[in-house]
Amino acid sequence: MLIYIASEIRGIEGNDCPWDKQKERIQRTIEQASVLREAFPNIEFFVPHDIWIVNELYRKGCVSAQDIIDVEIDYIMSDECDGVVSIGEVHAGTGVHQELTTAHTCGKLACCLDGVDEKCREFFARKVAEYGIIGE
């Protein structure tokens, strides 16, 4: 089973968010994903910004933030993706908000976590069970 990890890389700053801040948020998301991977070894977690070429294409202006979000949404709607989990704040209108809304609309897991501490992991485990997402 595959869960897409969404995070606000640009946040409410949008395209005005400085690259250093984006890079910090990317690193934090990758670290949080590692915690989830360790806690739930039977679930595959996908972090799009873990693929640095995506970040470089955006940073160099080869693709827009909306181009990336559009591709991410197509992926979330595909049969490959079982749900979306966000870690941290979610602001209306951001890519994460769009991704969570897409998952919910498709009847897939759409889960928001405050962090990856034990209490959050327990909540996530309950949500995964509710949706019947069990790792192989």
| Start-to-end Cα distance in the chain | 7
For the chain, the domains span 5-130
Contact between 46 and 29 under an 8 Å Cβ cutoff? The reply is no
Per-residue pLDDT of the chain (136 residues; tens, 9 = 90+): 899 999 888 888 888 889 899 889 889 999 999 999 999 999 999 998 778 788 788 889 898 888 988 999 999 999 999 999 999 888 888 889 999 999 999 999 999 999 999 999 999 999 999 888 765 4
68, two tokens: 């990336």
How far is CA 117 from its chain centroid?
Answer: 17
Burial class of residue 103 in the structure, from the number of CB atoms within 10 Å of its CB (0-12 exposed, 13-18 middle, 19+ buried) = buried
